[in-house]
Amino acid sequence: MNQEEFGLVTKGFKTKDNGGFATLPEGSQLTVYVSHTGANLSISKVEGYKSDGPLLVLRTAKKETFHVRLEDVYAVSAEGGAVGGLPARKPVGFGT
């Protein structure tokens, strides 16, 4: 994915700026799919992201930070209110 394609994917997300990161609304998360030379990685529970030149910096709900090459990203999925939908569903017995 290039910068223009990533911009098209994320332009509909309802984000707020938080220290340079585009952060998603409460209860919203992304999963970013990355592949490089045959190795696949899915980074789930992404709550914030920012572009840093050729890199995409991702911050997860567990406060992990991932730096990946934007050109290695091949898909992004959104869950919850990130694109105007309902907040992410929590299984019964796991919070309110």
Q: How far apart are CA 36 and CA 18, in angstroms?
A: 29
Task: Return the pLDDT at 91.
Answer: 65
Looking at the domain assignment, is residue 93 inside a domain? no
Q: How many angstroms from the chain centroid is the CA of residue 18?
A: 14
* 95 inside domain: no
Q: Stretch 21-48: mean pLDDT, rounded?
A: 93
Answer with the residue of higher pLDDT: 25 or 59.
Answer: 59
Residue 9 lies in a domain: yes
What residues form DSSP beta bridges with 31? 77
**Position 64 in a domain:** yes
Mean pLDDT of 25-54: 93
d(CA 54, CA 81): 28
Q: Is the residue at 77 inside a domain?
A: yes
Query: What are the tens digits of pLDDT across the range 40-94?
Result: 999 999 999 999 999 999 999 999 999 999 999 999 998 886 666 555 566 677 6
The pLDDT of residue 88 is: 54
- Is 68 part of any domain? yes
Residues pairing with 56 in the sheet:
51, 68
Query: Tokens 């098209």 sit at which residue?
Result: 8
46 contacts 78 by C-beta, under 8 angstroms: no
> Is 39 inside any structural domain?
yes
The domain in which residue 36 lies consists of 3-81
pLDDT score, position 89: 61
> What would the two tokens of residue 6 be?
């990533």
- Count of structural domains, the chain: 1
CATH code (residue 77)? 2.30.30.520
Whether 86 is in a domain gets the answer no
Tokens for 15? 């984000």
Give the global pTM: 0.81
